[in-house]
Structure 1
Amino acid sequence: MDRRLAGLIAGGQDDLSAYLGNDATARLVWSRIRTHGIALALLEMAPVVHAWPRSILSSLRDEARLQALWELSHRNCLLAVLARLDAAGVECLVLKGTALAYLVYDQPAMRRRGDSDILVRESSLQATRAVLADMGLVRTQDATFGQESWVYDTGIGFVHCIDLHWEVVAAPFLRRLLDVEECFASATPLPRLAASARTTSPALLFLRGVVNQALHRTNGYLVDDQMMFEDGRLIWLLDAHLLALRYTPADWEQIARIGVERGLAPICAKVLRHAQQALGTPLPETVMARLEAEPQANPVTSYLELGSGTARLRDDLGASRDLASRVRLLLAHAFPPRNFMQGRYPGKAHWPLGLLYLHRLFAGLWSLLVQQGKAG
C-alpha cells in the first residue's frame, strides 16, 4: 500500500482505486495517508486521486483545506516572530519542515507539519526568549537538549508552536555532527517566506533531516496524538527527493564529504536509495559509491540504533560538557515533556503531567519487580 501511494506521488498509474470500494480497505488507505502526511501532496501531485470514491476523496479534501488554513495562520505567526527577531538584531535560521516547505515545495502547505523550528546562537538565547515572551508566546515544559518549545494560541482554533534551538542536533552525543556556526556560514535565503528569512544550505538541510529521521525511528514521533516508530515516512522521502532535484555538484560534494567525515554516510545512503526506489529520485552514482563504501557500523550509527533509552542516556552523559549539563540531562530524562508522555500513554493523554510521571514511575517499578521475579 505504501509503495502504491509512493508511485502515485511519483506520477505512476493508479493501482489503488480498484480496492477503495471496500470500506475497510479505504479506511486503511486513509490511515496510511495520514501517517505519511501526504494528503495535500497527493491532491496536487497525483491528479488521478480526484477520481477516487467520494468517501476517501472527501477526507483528502477536508485534510487539504485544514492544512491550507493552518499554513496561512501559522505563516502569519512565524512572520511576526521573524520580524521581531530581526528588529532586535537576533540572527536566526528556519530549520526542518518549514524551511523545506518554502524552499522546495510548490505549495508550502503540502509539507504537513505541526510547528516551525528556528535556530539561534546560544549567545542570543536570552534576547530571543524576551522577544517571544513579549509577543505573547508561552514557553512550555517540552524542552530537551538544546531546544525548547514556545506556543501561541490564536483564539481561532489553532495553537502554533515555535521550537527554539540553540543546538543543531538535540542529543549531546551527536552535537558535533553539525555545528551552529557552520549552519550560519552556509545560510540560504528563503524569499518565499520573507525577505529576511534564511535557512541552512540544501545539503545541510538534508543531513540534518536524516539525523532527525534516525532519532525519530528510536524515540518515536507523533501522528494524530499516536506515537509512531516507522521508518521511511513518505513526506520525509519526498523532502529528500525534492531537495535532490535542486542539488548542485557542490551540494552533492558537501553531502559526500560530511557524510564520510562524520559517520553519516550509511544513513545518508539509506535515505537516498529509499527515495530512489519509492519516487525515482535521480542520484549521482559517484556520490553514492563514496557513501556506500563506508562501513555500516561506527559510533554514530551505533548510537542511533540503540533501542535502550538508558544506553543513549549513558552516551549522552559522557558527551556532556560539564556537571550542570549532566544534571539538566538527567532531569529531562526523568521528567520528559508532555508530548512524549502523551505519546507513551495515549489512553491517559488527558491526565495531568504529574500523574503521568507517577504512572510511569510505578509502571517501571512493577516491570522491574516482574523481571526480578522471573529471574528468581
Structure 2
Amino acid sequence: MKTSVVLEIDNWLARELVGRGAALPMQADRSDFAELASSRIRFHGIALALVETRVGLDGWPAALRETTVDEAQMQALWEETHRRTLVSMFDRLAENDIRTAAMKGTALAYSIYANPAWRRRGDTDLLVSEDRLDDARSVLQALGFRLLKPPHGLLFQESWYFDTGIGFEHVVDLHWRVLDSPRLQTVLQVDDVLHHSIPLTRLHPVARAVDPVRALVQGAFNQREHSLFGYGVEGKAKPEGDRLIWAMDYWYLCRAMDEHHWQRLVQLADQHKIAELISSVLKTAQALCADCVPLVALAQLDSRRSGNVMAYLSKTSRRRRFASDLAACKGAGEKVSFIARLALPDDDHLRATFPEAKKWPTFALRLRWLARTISRHVKPYSS
C-alpha cells in the first residue's frame, strides 16, 4: 500500500504530466523529497514526458529538475539506439518473409505516441507464429543477439539480448503466444492478433503492431498481473498496478479508437466476461482525461458480468492458477505438455533452486522438485 507521502507525490506528478501546472506537494520541504520524487518518476517511466510537457520544469527543486532532465536525456538516447536495432531486425524479418507483430510498449510508442521516446520500456515484445519461431530465432542470432535462458515457469516466450557496445543492451522478447497463461490465451490468440494487426510504418515499412482494441486488453491483463505479483524497478518488485505510463497508454489508445473499435471492445469484454477489468483501466484513463471514454461504452461495460478469466486474474494461489490454466489447455497433448514443462525444469534451475544439493544427481533433484511441487499444489491455500 502506498504511503501518504508517495500518494501525494504521485498525484502531483499526474497533474504535471497533463500540463495542469500543479503547485509543489506539501512534502516538498522534506530533505529527501527530491530522492523520493525521482524514484517515483523512474517507477512511472515518465521523465521525458514530464520534461517535454513542463518545459524547463519551472518551480521544481533544482536537484529534482537535474535528475529528471538527466533521466529524460538517457531515455531519448536509448530510444534512438533501440530504434536502429529494431530497423535492422525488421529488415531481416522482411527478407525472410516472417510475419510478426510488435506488442505492448514498442507497439504503442510508434502507433499512439507523438514522440515514441515518451513510452519508456526495457525491451521490445515481438509476436511470431510458432511455425516460424525457429526462423525468427535464426534472424536474431544472425544479427548478433544472444539468447538468455528463460526462467522456469515462463513457457511461451524467451529473451534475446544485443549489446550495442556503447553502454546500452537491447532486448527482444520473442513470444509465440500473446500471453504466457493458457487461461488468458483464450481471450487473445496468436492467429487472431496477427490477422488484426495494424501497420507500424513509423518504425519500419513492414512492421506491424497489435490493434488498439487488443492492445488495450493485453495492457489490462499485464497491469492486473503486476498489481498482484509486482513490477520490477531497479532490481525490486513493487506490488503496484498504477504506473502513470500505463494510464497514458489507455488515454492515448482511447483517442485512437473510433466507434467500431469501441463496439468491438465491448463485444470482446462481454464474450470473455472481462468487462470489470476493462472498465477499471478505462477509468484510469479518465483520471488523466475525463472525456476520453465514451459514456455509453462505459455504461455497457459496467452492466456486464465476470467469468473464469476474471476469477483467474483475482487469484494469487499457485494451485488455483495451475488448475485454471490446465483446464484452459486444449486436448490431452497440450495438458501433458503444460504439466511437463512446469514439473520438469532444466538442470541449471534445479541446482539454483537447491544450492545445498547441487552435487546431487539430476534424477534426485528432479524427485525433490516434484515432491515440493506436489506439496504446494495439494495444500488448500497454497500461495
Would you say 1:85 and 2:81 are equivalent positions? no
Question: SS at the partner of 1:117?
Answer: strand
Structure 1 match to 2:323: 314
Q: Alpha-carbon deviation of 1:169? A: 1.4
Would you say 1:154 and 2:164 are equivalent positions? yes
Q: Alpha-carbon deviation of 1:17? A: 6.0
Structure 2 match to 1:124: 132
Q: Is the 8 A contact 2:34 2:61 kept in 1?
A: no
CA deviation profile, 1:104-160 (whole Å, cap 9, x unmatched): 112111111000011111111111111111222111122522211111111221111
Q: Alpha-carbon deviation of 1:243? A: 1.1
Q: How do 1:328-367 and structure 2 match up within 5 A?
A: 328-331=341-344, 356-358=352-354
Greater CA deviation, 212-221 or 150-159? 212-221
Q: What is the aligned counterpart of 2:53 among 45, 51, 71?
A: 45
Q: Alpha-carbon deviation of 1:331? A: 3.8
What is the aligned length? 349
Would you say 1:284 and 2:294 are equivalent positions? yes
Would you say 1:299 and 2:308 are equivalent positions? yes
CA distance in 2, matches of 1:68, 1:256: 36
One-letter identity of the residue aligned with 1:215: E
Structure 1 match to 2:3: none
One-letter identity of the residue aligned with 1:49: L
Q: Is the 8 A contact 1:139 1:148 kept in 2?
A: yes
Would you say 1:241 and 2:251 are equivalent positions? yes
Would you say 1:205 and 2:215 are equivalent positions? yes
One-letter identity of the residue aligned with 2:317: S
Q: Alpha-carbon deviation of 1:238? A: 0.4
CA deviation profile, 1:305-327 (whole Å, cap 9, x unmatched): 11223321232233334212321
Seq. identity, %? 34
One-letter identity of the residue aligned with 2:34: A
TM-score normalized by the length of structure 2: 0.85
One-letter identity of the residue aligned with 1:358: F
Structure 2 match to 1:268: 278
Structure 1 match to 2:104: 96
Q: What is the aligned counterpart of 1:10 among 18, 25, 42?
A: 18
Greater CA deviation, 215-224 or 32-41? 215-224
One-letter identity of the residue aligned with 2:343: L
Q: Alpha-carbon deviation of 1:214? A: 1.3
One-letter identity of the residue aligned with 1:320: C
Question: SS at the partner of 2:110?
Answer: helix
- Label 1:314 to 1:360 Cα distance change in 2 as closer, same or farther (>3 A): farther
Structure 2 match to 1:347: none
CA distance in 1, matches of 2:327, 2:82: 38
CA distance in 2, matches of 1:246, 1:45: 20
- Label 1:331 to 1:109 Cα distance change in 2 as closer, same or farther (>3 A): farther
Question: SS at the partner of 1:149?
Answer: strand
- Label 1:109 to 1:359 Cα distance change in 2 as closer, same or farther (>3 A): farther
Would you say 1:139 and 2:147 are equivalent positions? yes
One-letter identity of the residue aligned with 1:158: F
CA distance in 1, matches of 2:52, 2:120: 13
CA distance in 2, matches of 1:293, 1:214: 20
Q: How do 1:61-80 and structure 2 match up within 5 A?
A: 61-80=69-88
Q: Alpha-carbon deviation of 1:86? A: 0.9
Q: Alpha-carbon deviation of 1:353? A: 6.8
CA distance in 2, matches of 1:279, 1:4: 15
Give ranges in structure 1 of 5+ residues lacking alignment.
Answer: 336-351
TM-score normalized by the length of structure 1: 0.86
Q: Is the 8 A contact 1:238 1:279 kept in 2?
A: no
One-letter identity of the residue aligned with 1:194: H
Structure 1 match to 2:43: 35
Structure 2 match to 1:115: 123
- Label 1:272 to 1:360 Cα distance change in 2 as closer, same or farther (>3 A): farther
Runs of 4+ in 1 over 6 A off after TM superposition: 352-355, 359-362
Structure 2 match to 1:168: 178
CA distance in 2, matches of 1:43, 1:353: 43
Would you say 1:253 and 2:263 are equivalent positions? yes
CA distance in 1, matches of 2:111, 2:96: 25
Structural RMSD (CA): 2.5
Question: SS at the partner of 1:163?
Answer: strand
CA distance in 2, matches of 1:175, 1:360: 37
Would you say 1:326 and 2:339 are equivalent positions? yes
Greater CA deviation, 200-209 or 306-315? 306-315
Would you say 1:223 and 2:233 are equivalent positions? yes
